[in-house]
Amino acid sequence: MSARRGAFRADQALEINRFWFGPAPLGVKTVDERRQLWFGIGSAARQAPIGAMIRERFGAHMARAAAGELDGWTASPHRALALILLLDLLPRNAFTGTPRAFSTDARALALALSALQAAADVALSPLERVFLYMPLQHAERLDAQEESVSAYRRVLHETPGELRPFLAEMHALAQRQHAIIARFGRFPERNPILARPSTAEEIAFLAGGTTLE
C-alpha cells in the first residue's frame, strides 16, 4: 500500500463516526439529537450550513474514498462503517440536489453487501447497523432493496428496549423504498437531479407529495 493510501487511517475513521453518531452510549438521546444531520430535517437554508461544514471538514476524505484510497478500512467493521458514511450519507448532506450526492452510491452498496456477507454488522451497535445498511435502502436495485428489508427486520427483532420504535420506523422506511423500486425500478424524485425524463406515472406519483429519501 502506498504512503498516500496509508495516510488516512484509524483515527480519522473514528473522527467520522464520532461526527455522525456523537458521543457514546448510542441510544434514544442520540436519535433525538442527530435527526437533522441524519435525515435532513428542516428547510434548505437550515441544511446549507451543515453541507458546507461537511465539505470543509470531510471533503478530502470523501474524494479519497471515491478514488478507492481508503479501501483498507474495510478490514475493520467500524472503519468500514466510516467508509460507507463517506460514500453514501455524507455526500447526501454535502451535495444535496446535485448528481454528486449519488455519485458514489455504487461503491457504498458494494461495501455494504460485502460487510453483510462477512457478518461485519454483528460487531456494530443497532444504530451503527442502521447506517451500515443504508446503501441498500438507497439502491435502485430490487435485489438490494430486498436485502435492505431483511437487514432492517433483523436489527429490529434483535434489539429490545427503547430503540425499537426508531428501528421499526427504519424498517417501515425500508419497506416503502422497496415498494417504490418494485414499482418504478428507480427513485422518481432523483429524475430532475439526474436529468432523467419522468414517466407520466412517476409525475403523478411525485405530485402526491411522497418523500422518497
pLDDT of residue 2: 40
17: domain CATH number? 1.25.40.10
Residue-range definition of the domain harbouring residue 171? 10-207
The count of C-alpha atoms lying within 13 angstroms of the C-alpha of 30, restricted to the half-sphere facing its C-beta, is 20
Please check whether residue 103 lies inside any domain of the structure. yes
Please indicate, yes or no, if residue 131 is contained in any of the structural domains: yes
Averaged confidence pLDDT in the chain: 92
Find the mean pLDDT for residues 3-21.
76
- On whether residue 76 sits in a domain, the answer given is yes
Asked whether residue 4 is assigned to any structural domain, the reply reads no
pLDDT digit string, tens, across residues 165-201: 999 999 999 999 999 999 999 999 999 999 999 999 9
Residue 103, pLDDT score:
97
pLDDT at 40: 79
As given in the structure block, the three cell numbers for residue 142 are: 430490487
- For residues 2 and 102, which has the higher predicted lDDT (pLDDT)? 102
Is residue 110 in some structural domain? yes
Is residue 192, in this structure, part of any structural domain at all?
yes
> In this structure, is residue 73 part of a structural domain?
yes
Query: Does residue 75 lie in a domain region?
Result: yes
- Tell me how many domains the chain contains: 1
What would the pLDDT profile of 97-116 be if each residue is shown by its tens digit? 999 999 999 999 999 999 99
